[in-house]
Copies of this chain bind each other. A is one copy, B any other.
Amino acid sequence: MKVEKIMNRNYKSIEENESIFNAVKIMNENKIYGLVVKDKEGKDVGLLSERSIIKRFIPRNKKPDEVPVKFVMREPMPKISMDSDVRDAATYLSNNGLERCAVVDDSGKVAGIITLTDISRYLSKESIIDVLFSHRAKEYVHLCPKCGIGTLEPVYNEKGEIKVFRCSNPSCFYEE
């Protein structure tokens, strides 16, 4: 079964400078748990999930309307091609500790979102379990969007709040 046949085409998206407050409003109103994130030019640049909000928003200790989605989203955007098989999708989710990812067409544009739930009917029990366990166990890693080499690591202040995420590559000075 091709991912294209069962992906969710009615996904929602949000602009990267919008706030976490507005993003979660869209999620709650539509009973969905992930959003595609676009930049100002409309290019698909990231994916926002419940997990990213827990990992990268709450520890900053700011109000939800003060933090833009671009500082919280998973980037580079996790994605697979429309013509992938659902089993390839399961392997991709499992290898990356994800529960959902974007589905892109030949031009790299998002055509839908696929989740473990969507594809579960077409998988073996072992594959479903693989994704469930990897989602729980895998470290939540953000590759630096500037250098693509380092990972974004939290920098804490004296109150234990994350002030910024900084690239681990010492020759890159990216922060967000």
User: Known contacts A25-B160, A125-B128: does B61 contact A63 (CB below 8 Å)?
Assistant: yes
- A59 an interface residue at 8 Å Cβ cutoff? yes
Q: State whether B58 touches A24 (Cβ < 8 A).
A: yes
- Contact: B50 with A51, CB < 8 Å? yes
In this assembly, does A116 line the interface, its C-beta being within 8 Å of a C-beta of chain B? yes
Also in contact, A33 and B54, with CB within 8 A (given A117-B136, A129-B121): yes
Per-residue CB contact flags for chain A residues 77-94 toward chain B (1 = under 8 Å, else 0) read 000000000000000000
Size category of the A interface is 35 or more
A28 to B160, CA, bound (A): 13
**1/0 per position for A51-81, CB-CB distance to B under 8 A?**
1011100110111110000000000000000
- Specify the main secondary structure of chain A where it touches its partner: helix
User: Across the interface, do B117 and A133 meet the contact criterion of CB distance under 8 Å?
Assistant: yes
- A27 and chain B: residue at smallest CB distance: B54
Interface presence of A174 (CB below 8 A): no
Asked if B54 and A65 make an inter-chain contact with CB atoms under 8 angstroms apart, the answer reads no
Complexed CA–CA distance, A164 and B14 (Å): 26
CB neighbours (8 Å) of A27 from chain B are 54
Cβ contact within 8 Å between A59 and B160 = no
A151 — which chain B residues lie within 8 A by C-beta? none
Q: Which of A81-123 contact B (CB under 8 A)?
A: 115-117, 120-121
A152 interface contact, C-beta 8 A = no
Q: Which residues of B contact A129 (CB under 8 A)?
A: 117, 120-121, 128
CB-nearest residue of chain B relative to A22? B160
Contacts of A11 in B (CB 8 A): none
Going nearest first, the 4 A-B pairs with the smallest beta carbon separation are A24-B58, A125-B125, A117-B132, A50-B50
